[in-house]
A and B are shown apart, each in its own frame.
Chain A
Amino acid sequence: MANDTPIIVFDNVSKWYGQFHVLRDIQLKVAKGERIVICGPSGSGKSTLIRCINRLEEHQAGHLTVDGIELTDDVKAVDAVRRNVGMVFQQFNLFPHLTVLENLTLAPMWVGKMPKKEAEDKAMAQLQRVRIAEQAAKYPLQLSGGQQQRVAIARALCLTPKIMLFDEPTSALDPEMINEVLEVMVDLAKQGITMLCVTHEMGFARQAADRVIFMDQGQIVEENTPVEFFNHPKTDRAKDFLSKILSH
């Protein structure tokens, strides 16, 4: 990679929910174009970690820098970061009162100030990319779960973000639909976009990730390449976690 500056830097970041210390002194650097899978038991703070990156959650201690901009209370800084970061949610969160195409053109037209025709062309291109262009005129609730999640991915991509965040994208899907979403994510990974993905899908991690981060109780316990992590976990906690999820 030509550019050496990491695109995301967590410097001793801590976060509390009330009295609960959910993120404890996180130190993390993410390089440009790197694909990271974050795994761990529930309640370990994985979702909170990535939600801090686009300021859906606010950290109370430490410094978090995204694409050179530090995330603080400064509203303009937060807006600038959000323009470069796309997010895909577990519950899809598509807008049910708009068609698929309107869901995708909403932000480019109203935030990116793009003319309608240009926005629609771009949207159709993204829908092609996730292989769902024929559903453009339908409403979200008329589609299956897997189709809705692919539309959600296309919607995030319409703003050409530098970073894509995935918060358990397949956890709310029926098993037969998980594959179609994972295929899209693997394609994206091959195209060089920086990705942080919280997921339990270890197959995806093996296929597409550069690094696997294991979190437990608010801390990063272990990080390594997928091959090393799955075959030679170094800490007891990681070994324990892997034995639970890989045996089922």
Chain B
Amino acid sequence: MAAPPKTRSWSWRSKAFRGVLYQVLVLGLVVAAAAYLFSNTLENMRVRGIKSGFDFITQPAGFAIGESVVPFDSSESYGKAFLVGLSNTFRVAIAGIVLATVIGTLVGIGRLSRNLLVRSLSGAYVDLLRNVPLLLQLFIWYFVLTEMLPPIEEALHPLPGLFFSKNGLQFPHPLWVPGHWGTLAGFVVGLIGVRGWARWVQARHDATGQAPMFWLPALAIVVLATAVGWLLGGAPTGFDVPEKTEINVVGGGAVTPEFLTVLLGLTIYTAAYIAEVVRAGIQSVPYGQHEASVSLGLSRAKELRLVQLPQALRVIIPPMTNQYLNLTKNSSLAVAVGYPDLVSISNTSLNQTGRAIECIAIVMACYLTLSLLTSALMNWYNRRAAIRER
């Protein structure tokens, strides 16, 4: 028999009634405050002659952008300028995330090393970089990269094709021809092949208990497939190599000192936080797990792969993605060193058009979308990977 229906009483003493009342009060306050602010804003804008609306997006920008993935000139629209800014943000964020993860993981493992020197140096790295503001670190990097490097006439030449000077870093890169689609296709085929190989190795192990070698053949498959793809594409070998002239360095790909500053600053700073995340993750696996693995006879490598890493990764991945998000948000500091990221472009547009609210709203919307997407992804991962309890 189901429970009898709830009786509601509309008196002050009813808990449900009070709940509704409080919510109405709070909502009323919030709406009233918002209305007040809104009316003030409209009035102020009317008095100051500030126009509003997003129509400025289609108007020509009237400013050039220092560096961009796609060419941009001042006659193109504000909308395109914002997109270029967003692409610059992604460019530095993705490169930063990859580098910071590598460096951070190494330092995090170093913090747990048995070697006292390695342990102390890793600890010093983390302590030093986490206690100085990122903006100051960016300024220091900017100063080093723009004042302490030689001018382009005397650029540093550490490796063939690499030139390092006040004007940034110039490096050789392969010339893009349609033949390279072949190389790319070969690489993708190689990856699919590796997946198939992994499945075959697993099946073989299940059936017979023998574990054939995995990594070497996997590497061979990828390299072979890429090479075949490259050959089929016509074996393109064009490289754009920078060359030094009397007063300049021409050719090759280039990154500006502003990009390098933001990249290096963000990478080194975030790596310190990632190191702590990795260290905490590895230490979260109870020592008893190691003892159980050892008494079952598992070798160190197998123990790491089958017992320690699966458990450590569950603890590492959520805060790690948080750090990735922080790195992306911190890239907004690029405005202070002149790298044209999203915030910097928005600032310029704001100053030119006076549409403060719209420009800031665009920036906030972009970052908010990124944050919410990452949160959703993280929640999905947590649900899937959670260690099931009672």
Contacts and interface: CB of A to CB of B under 8 A. Distances in A.
Interface of A: 54, 56, 79, 82-83, 85-87, 89, 91, 93-97, 106-107, 109-119, 139, 141-143, 155-156, 159
Contacts, number: 86
A226 B315 CA distance: 48
Contacts of A110: 211, 298, 302, 306
A122 to B, nearest CB: 12
B7 interface: no
Contacts of B286: 91, 93
B206 A116 contact: yes
A99 B338 CA distance: 54
A97 B389 contact: no
B390 A115 contact: no
A17 to B, nearest CB: 15
A97 B310 contact: yes
Contacts of B211: 110, 113
Interface stretch (B244-252, B287-295, B354-362): B287-295
A142 B302 contact: no
A110 B305 CA distance: 11
11 contacts: A86-B295, A89-B292, A95-B289, A97-B310, A107-B296, A110-B211, A111-B297, A114-B209, A115-B207, A116-B206, A142-B388
Interface in B204-248: 205-211
Contacts of B389: 139, 141-142
A159 B291 contact: no
Contacts of B134: none
A144 to B, nearest CB: 8
Given A96-B387, A115-B207, A139-B387, A159 B297 contact: yes
A173 to B, nearest CB: 16
Contact of A155 (B207, B208, B296, B311): B296
A179 B32 CA distance: 66
Given A93-B288, A96-B311, 18 more contacts: A56-B294, A79-B297, A87-B291, A91-B288, A93-B292, A95-B292, A95-B311, A96-B387, A107-B296, A110-B211, A110-B302, A112-B209, A115-B208, A116-B205, A118-B209, A139-B389, A141-B388, A155-B296
A87 B206 CA distance: 26
Contacts of B209: 109, 112-116, 118-119
Nearest to A99: B388
A147 B208 CA distance: 31
A106 B297 contact: no
Contacts of B292: 87, 89, 93-95
Contacts of B297: 79, 82-83, 107, 111, 159
Contacts of B207: 115-117
Given A89-B288, A93-B289, A115-B208, A139 B388 contact: yes
A82 B289 CA distance: 16
Which of B206, B297, B302 has the largest number of chain A CB atoms within 10 A?
Answer: B297
Nearest to A83: B297
A56 B306 contact: no
B205 A56 contact: no
Nearest to B294: A56
A97 B295 contact: no
B315 to A, nearest CB: 11
Nearest to B303: A110
A118 to B, nearest CB: 8
Contact of B311 (A85, A91, A93, A97): A97
